[in-house]
Chain A
Amino acid sequence: MIKAEHIFKSFNNGITEVLKDISLNISDGDFVVILGASGSGKSTLMNVLSGLEQADKGKITVNEQELTTLNDKQLTEFRKNNIGFVFQQYYLLPHLNVESNIKLGADLVKNHNYAEIIESLGLTDKIKKHPSELSGGEQQRVCIARALAKKPSVLFLDEPTGALDEATGRDVLDYIIKEKERHGFTMIMVTHNQNIAETAHTVIKMNSGKIVEIHTNNKQKTAREIGW
């Protein structure tokens, strides 16, 4: 359960107001898409909800822990126990091979059975390769495997298909949705792509740092159906 109450966040000593009074509730196991134009504050919202950054004002509770009272060290510990991340730019460690990159996630929670995740993401024959030898779609699948290997209860994805071409993006999205159904974690995906929103259960629309609409899709579309 993620609960945010009246969140404010600004940069440059308050000159750039990025989040203006955000409140929301996300229930366990939900698939949420945060939709909004570039610069509307989606990534910043994701960062404060996941404990990467502190909000200036307001209260955030994730899995009964109040993030807004934690210090940097406690936030790190919190992320270790609860959160998984996937970023648009992958951020794989370039000098380590695929397996070691996935171990970055797996070792944190002493997960020795990550081979199964590698297999379900279709990476079995890539584990000895380095990130630079992989295509964008493959790199993003490694990121997903890395995040899942630490068994997060909440998975955050920031524009996971943003750097990929359409077909590859849809392919990766397919994998994401499949893994979400298999493991049942809470999933929060940031995107500016309207079509992707139709795959989600809950869609939160943002505009200039405010939530302008929250709606639920009764029938979620698959990555193939969205025609993107």
Chain B
Amino acid sequence: MIISFKSALKLVGIAIVLFCAAFVCTFFLNFYLDVLPLRDEVTEQMLPLYEAQLATAQMCCAITGGVLTFIACIMALFYVKLYIDEHYKELGTFKALGYSANRLAASFMLFGLSAFVGCALGYGLGHAMMPSIYKWLTIDGLNVEIHYHTGLLFGIVITPTIFLGAVAYLCAYLQLKKPALAILKGQRKQRKIKSNNGSKQNNNSFLKEMCFKTITDNKLLTFFVTFSAFCFSAMIQMGASMESLVDGTMGWMILAIGLVLAGTSAFMALTSLVKNTSQSIAMMKTFGYSLRERVTSIFAGFIPFAILGFVIGTVYQYGLLTLMINLIFKDVGEVPDYSFNVKIMFITLAAFIVTYTAITAIYVAKVNKVSVKQIMLEN
């Protein structure tokens, strides 16, 4: 076995994202399945509300489950790449000894374990909190009892585990099917390098080029930064609007999930950014580049992505809330009055700037500590 249980369980990002997804889907789907057979008991007058609740449950599951599973897959790709980057020597040697890409990639299926942990915990918490959640999902005049649905265990815990394992296998297979020597030379060096042989002198300054190359070399991280800002912006604003619109508990829950997701992806992005660039940072420091110059060349390129994520998040939550209110409550007599909340947007923006500056400051301290001596001792 090339991958140990321990390293398969260390993929915290996947676990956290799927934990959130499983948690939300568990109680919504359970509620959906419990309410579905009660249609006959619903009075004519309550029918629109009943349908609205069903639609809400469906929509929340589809969006949360869909988006977060997609994110978890991207994270799996990220972790597989990271693992292969860090273990290219062993993997290349195995390949040279005659192990097939298929056989090596098969052990990456163990990565599904962290999906299992996340989903199982989310599933468990979903069930644990179900009684209180049912209280505010309730529909007047209907007595919704909690039933246990075995099918959900498969849908929410087992299927994602297998699916993530398969995704990890596929990502690993695609990267390991290269010849053994190519793997042994290391991923970084392997990347197709476009050497244009023109003799045109390039007038960009070194720092500009560093900044640009950091982005193009870490495309996956731009995604995590955008996603992190998106979650922060969308879910805090949505949570806050919900609080005043529908129900407090729901609002707080969305807010908490948003913070967890934003924090996880920001942490993943920043940690691997500092790691990927440590040798460059060390050389820059050795040659005398100031802390400010080092930090700018690494982090500055990501600022537009953070802003982009915030903007998309703002638009998304506005669109989603409008859609939900118009679609779901259109037949219900009392449609809540909803318009874009500028005040919440500005408060979120302020919190966003403060939080992300603070997180970056922590990583700036890490950047300052990276020295050539440390790099030498590692080699």
In the bound assembly, the distance between CA atoms of A76 and B199 in angstroms comes to 33
Our pick among B213, B289, B372 for the contact of A91 (Cβ within 8 Å) is: B372
In the bound assembly, the distance between CA atoms of A106 and B283 in angstroms comes to 14
In the complex, which residues of chain B have a beta carbon less than 8 angstroms from the beta carbon of A79? 286-288
In the complex, which residues of chain A have a beta carbon less than 8 angstroms from the beta carbon of B368? 72
Determine whether A21 belongs to the interface, using a CB cutoff of 8 Å to chain B: no
A52-B372, A89-B376, A93-B279 known; A99-B217 Cβ under 8 A: no
In the bound assembly, the distance between CA atoms of A41 and B296 in angstroms comes to 35
A79-B286, A80-B289, A107-B206 known; A94-B195 Cβ under 8 A: no
Which chain B residues in 164-182 approach chain A with CB under 8 Å?
A: none
Determine whether A23 belongs to the interface, using a CB cutoff of 8 Å to chain B: no
Contact between B283 and A108 (Cβ–Cβ < 8 Å)?
Answer: no
Determine whether B284 belongs to the interface, using a CB cutoff of 8 Å to chain A: yes
In the complex, which residues of chain A have a beta carbon less than 8 angstroms from the beta carbon of B373? 47, 52-53
Contact between B196 and A128 (Cβ–Cβ < 8 Å)?
Answer: yes
Contact between A100 and B217 (Cβ–Cβ < 8 Å)?
Answer: no
Closest B residue to A104 by CB, please name it. B206
Give the shortest distance, in Å, between B338 (CB) and chain A (any CB): 48
In the complex, which residues of chain B have a beta carbon less than 8 angstroms from the beta carbon of A77? 288, 290
Contact between A96 and B283 (Cβ–Cβ < 8 Å)?
Answer: no
Our pick among B189, B282, B286 for the contact of A132 (Cβ within 8 Å) is: B189
Which chain B residues in 207-236 approach chain A with CB under 8 Å?
A: 207, 209-210, 213, 217
Give the shortest distance, in Å, between A39 (CB) and chain B (any CB): 14
Closest A residue to B286 by CB, please name it. A85
In the bound assembly, the distance between CA atoms of A91 and B277 in angstroms comes to 12
Contact between A52 and B213 (Cβ–Cβ < 8 Å)?
Answer: no
Determine whether B332 belongs to the interface, using a CB cutoff of 8 Å to chain A: no
Our pick among B202, B205, B286 for the contact of A52 (Cβ within 8 Å) is: B286
In the complex, which residues of chain A have a beta carbon less than 8 angstroms from the beta carbon of B372? 52, 85, 87, 91
Give the shortest distance, in Å, between B286 (CB) and chain A (any CB): 6
Which chain A residues in 143-196 approach chain B with CB under 8 Å?
A: 150
Determine whether A97 belongs to the interface, using a CB cutoff of 8 Å to chain B: yes
Closest A residue to B284 by CB, please name it. A104
In the bound assembly, the distance between CA atoms of A134 and B199 in angstroms comes to 17
Which chain A residues in 29-72 approach chain B with CB under 8 Å?
A: 43, 47, 52-53, 72
Interface string of A107-131 (1 = CB under 8 A from B): 1100000010000000000011110
Give the shortest distance, in Å, between A42 (CB) and chain B (any CB): 13
In the bound assembly, the distance between CA atoms of A73 and B368 in angstroms comes to 10
Closest B residue to A124 by CB, please name it. B199
Determine whether A222 belongs to the interface, using a CB cutoff of 8 Å to chain B: no
Determine whether B285 belongs to the interface, using a CB cutoff of 8 Å to chain A: yes
Determine whether A81 belongs to the interface, using a CB cutoff of 8 Å to chain B: yes
Interface string of B312-344 (1 = CB under 8 A from A): 000000000000000000000000000000000
In the complex, which residues of chain B have a beta carbon less than 8 angstroms from the beta carbon of A104? 206, 283-284, 287
In the complex, which residues of chain B have a beta carbon less than 8 angstroms from the beta carbon of A97? 195
Give the shortest distance, in Å, between B190 (CB) and chain A (any CB): 8
Determine whether B135 belongs to the interface, using a CB cutoff of 8 Å to chain A: no
A52-B372, A87-B372, A128-B195 known; A96-B290 Cβ under 8 A: no
In the complex, which residues of chain A have a beta carbon less than 8 angstroms from the beta carbon of B198? 128
Give the shortest distance, in Å, between B194 (CB) and chain A (any CB): 9
Determine whether A215 belongs to the interface, using a CB cutoff of 8 Å to chain B: no
In the bound assembly, the distance between CA atoms of A105 and B196 in angstroms comes to 22
Contact between A91 and B288 (Cβ–Cβ < 8 Å)?
Answer: no
In the bound assembly, the distance between CA atoms of A93 and B79 in angstroms comes to 23
Interface string of B343-379 (1 = CB under 8 A from A): 0000000000000000000000000100111011001
Top 9 closest pairs, chain A to chain B, by CB: A80-B288, A132-B189, A103-B206, A79-B288, A107-B206, A130-B193, A93-B280, A95-B217, A95-B213
- Having A76-B291, A81-B288, A128-B197, one finds 10 other A-B pairs with CB under 8 Å, namely A76-B288, A77-B290, A80-B290, A91-B282, A91-B372, A95-B188, A99-B202, A128-B195, A129-B195, A133-B193
Can you list 22 A-B pairs with a CB-CB distance of less than 8 A?
A: A47-B373, A52-B373, A73-B290, A76-B285, A76-B288, A76-B291, A79-B286, A79-B287, A80-B290, A85-B372, A89-B379, A91-B283, A94-B279, A95-B217, A99-B202, A100-B202, A104-B283, A104-B287, A105-B287, A107-B205, A108-B288, A133-B195
